[in-house]
Amino acid sequence: MKILIVDDEAINRTLLTNMLYNAGYTECVEAVDGIEAIETFIEEQPDLVLLDVVMPGLSGFDVAPKIRQLAKGPYLPILFITALEDKDSLVRCLEVGGNDFATKPFDRHILIAKIRAHLKIRALSEHVEQQNKSLRLFNQRVAREHAIVEHIFSHAIVNRPEVQTHFDCFLQPAETFNGDLFLCEASPSGGIYFIVGDFTGHGLASAIGALPVTRVFQELSQQGVSVSEIVSELNQILIKFLPSDMFMAAVVGEINAAGNRINLWQGGMPAVIIPATSNMAPRKVCSRHMALGVLEEHELNTDIDTVNLGHNEQLIICSDGLIEISNDDGDMLLEEGLAEIVKNQMIEEGVVDAKSLFERAKAHCATSTFQDDVTLVVFTSKPINMHLRNQVASAFPSVHEVTLDAEHLKQPDILPRVLQLAGQCEEMQGIRSIIFTVLSELFNNALEHGILKLDSKLKQDSAGFHQYYENREASLQALSRGRIIVRVESLPNRGKVLVSVEDSGNGFQWENKAYLAGAHFSNDECFGRGLPLIQTLCERVWFEKNGSKAICLLSTRQQ
């Protein structure tokens, strides 16, 4: 430590120097008057100043403020040494910038104790200043990194305005970065794909998972894949990139070009709400799957729900940040509370908009801020009218056929592999998701009824539904014989695709089936809806070989 001693008396300077040397402070510099004190201070930059009050020329009272102005670093202790004992003089020592004083004649023990105390304070001040400097640098680095990440997010996670205009959206992040996600992309068939996602937690750590999800979603949307394929691919990406304690609850959907049919996959999200046009309670489509990024591929269920909407009927999707708000009593809003708010808004206004719905829900909240990210998306059923990309001018006709034996049928990923093969036909991007649905239904019918000979009537209730799939798994594992032939033929000159699935079973009496005559089945039934669904998606459906071969004709110019 360097100490500056300022005194016009040489004996006092010598006495102080010896005292300090014996106490371990060996680096001392001296000044004989005020002018020299200021010059020496500038040159030596001492850690502590011992300053005499009464000196010729500039007094200590004059020098202290000037030194204080020159001291740009941490705390600089200035101790006055004086023979003055009146209170006014001692008070003035402190008022002009001094930190303490020692009266002459010096008490060595008291003076050294004061010097040590003030040097310790200076050391602490230097330490704090160093920490503050480190903190400022850290904050600058974090601010810069946030700016970079925000720039990336603002350019990477962007929905095309002409697509997003079909939705009424409201997003409110709990922090700078949003752990919720809303994406929408036009499909080659003239409809729209969309995702409403909610990552674990909120803030930057949660939002970072949106980057790979966005890229995969955009690429798959351009290919016209099915919702089930999107779900499967996103799950693999999240399993690979996210830590084990993070996942993404999601609603993944595809809206057809007419805007009146939506294929939905829901995992870990609040129920989708469909408001009633009367004062009746709204319909709800509940989530029946786990969030993405939790289950391995062979455990993931990609079954979808199909929601049909009337003209101007609405579909409401929200993240759990909205329904988990609490009132003063700690009661959460929950799905039932949100459904009641939707019902009241329909009664009063006849329509639901995202901003008003959020404000009504917010009135339930005990605080002005939300603890989690909030996302509200409202879709109103109407034709999409999306500009379609030009079809390939001279697409090749092609045929893809695969024969699957018992060992193939036992493989859990066999259907996705068949669908991937079928998707290689040119001019099929616009109806790929439809072909996925048709092939899935035909393949499952051929396997479960043609090969395994299961009875769908077992699925009349939840217990039977569970028993049905237990029987399916047991029969499939025991299967030693059986064959399914899948054939996909593209006829681009006619704008058609011919799909057939043939099994080695005994067939069935399809001529008398009511659903081929246009009958409609109740949504409450758990079986018998596959073939009617196929009939609505295809131009023509017929059977050959006593019902063991199903053939479907689809148009590649779906609207």
CATH number for position 243? 3.60.40.10
Domain match, 120 and 200 both: no
Mean pLDDT of 92-104: 89
Which residues are 385's β-sheet partners?
Answer: none
Give the integer Cα–Cα distance in Å for 549 and 559. Answer: 28
Mean pLDDT check: name the lowest of 47-61, 126-140, 274-288: 274-288
Domain match, 360 and 458 both: no
Mean pLDDT of 494-516: 74
pLDDT of residue 507 exceeding 70:
yes
Mean pLDDT of 338-362: 91
Domain match, 315 and 179 both: yes
pLDDT of the residue at 414: 84
Whether 506 is covered by a domain: the verdict is yes
pLDDT of the residue at 426: 64
Domain match, 255 and 357 both: yes
Give the integer Cα–Cα distance in Å for 265 and 291. Answer: 10
Whether 137 is covered by a domain: the verdict is no
Exposure string for 430-440, b = 16+ CB within 10 A, e = fewer: bbbbbbbbbbb
Domain match, 294 and 420 both: no
Contacts for 534 with CB less than 8 Å, ≥ 6 apart: 437, 438, 441, 442, 541, 552
pLDDT of residue 429 exceeding 70:
no
- Of 315, 350, 381, the position where a domain reaches its end is 381
Give the integer Cα–Cα distance in Å for 233 and 436. Answer: 15
pLDDT of residue 524 exceeding 50:
no
Check which CATH number belongs to the domain holding 91 and give it.
Answer: 3.40.50.2300
Confidence at 309, pLDDT banded by 50, 70, 90:
very high
Domain match, 376 and 431 both: no
pLDDT of the residue at 328: 83
Mean pLDDT of 275-288: 86
pLDDT of residue 452 exceeding 50:
yes
Exposure string for 66-75, b = 16+ CB within 10 A, e = fewer: bbeeebeebb
Comparison of pLDDT for 502 and 468, the residue scoring more: 502
The H or E element that residue 51 is part of is strand 48-52
Comparison of pLDDT for 354 and 175, the residue scoring more: 354
pLDDT of the residue at 356: 93
Give the integer Cα–Cα distance in Å for 117 and 419. Answer: 80
Whether 45 is covered by a domain: the verdict is yes
Please list the helix, strand and coil fractions of the chain in percent, rounded to the nearest 5, in that order: 45, 20, 35
Among 325, 335, 318, smallest CA distance to 369 is for: 325
Rounded mean pLDDT of the chain?
86
pLDDT of residue 558 exceeding 70:
no
pLDDT of the residue at 1: 86
The H or E element that residue 95 is part of is helix 87-95
pLDDT of the residue at 184: 95
Mean pLDDT of 325-351: 90
HSE-CB of 148 using CA atoms within 13 angstroms: 6
pLDDT of the residue at 4: 95
Whether 430 is covered by a domain: the verdict is yes
Mean pLDDT of 184-199: 92
Domain match, 9 and 121 both: yes
In order of 271, 454, 525, the CA distances from 461 in angstroms are: 22, 16, 9
Confidence at 494, pLDDT banded by 50, 70, 90:
confident
Domain match, 208 and 71 both: no
Whether 391 is covered by a domain: the verdict is no
Whether 142 is covered by a domain: the verdict is no
Domain match, 113 and 231 both: no
Q: Kind of pairing, strands 549-555 and 540-544?
A: antiparallel
pLDDT (tens digit, 9 = 90+) per residue, 394-422? 667 888 899 999 999 998 778 878 877 77
- Of 348, 381, 414, the position where a domain reaches its end is 381
pLDDT of residue 458 exceeding 90:
no
Comparison of pLDDT for 399 and 151, the residue scoring more: 399
The H or E element that residue 517 is part of is none
Query: Residue 191: exposed, middle, or buried by beta-carbon count in 10 A (0-12, 13-18, 19+)?
Result: buried
Domain match, 95 and 238 both: no
Query: How many distinct structural domains can be found in the chain?
Result: 3
3-state secondary structure of 460: helix
Domain match, 525 and 489 both: yes
Domain match, 205 and 331 both: yes
pLDDT (tens digit, 9 = 90+) per residue, 526-553? 334 577 878 888 899 999 998 899 999 9
Confidence at 40, pLDDT banded by 50, 70, 90:
very high
pLDDT of residue 514 exceeding 50:
no
pLDDT of the residue at 392: 47
pLDDT of the residue at 244: 85
Comparison of pLDDT for 69 and 436, the residue scoring more: 69
What is the number of other CB atoms lying within 10 angstroms of the CB of residue 357?
A: 23
- Of 80, 105, 127, the position where a domain reaches its end is 127
Confidence at 13, pLDDT banded by 50, 70, 90:
very high
Q: Which domain holds residue 105?
A: 3-127
Sign of the alpha-carbon torsion through 200, 205, 207, 210: negative
- pLDDT > 70 fraction of the chain, expressed in percent and rounded: 91
> Is the bond into 105 cis (omega within 30 degrees of 0)?
yes
3-state secondary structure of 396: coil
Whether 252 is covered by a domain: the verdict is yes
pLDDT of the residue at 518: 43
pLDDT (tens digit, 9 = 90+) per residue, 19-36? 999 999 999 999 999 999
Check which CATH number belongs to the domain holding 548 and give it.
Answer: 3.30.565.10
Greatest mean pLDDT range, 86-90, 293-297, 455-459? 293-297
Confidence at 225, pLDDT banded by 50, 70, 90:
confident
Whether 147 is covered by a domain: the verdict is no
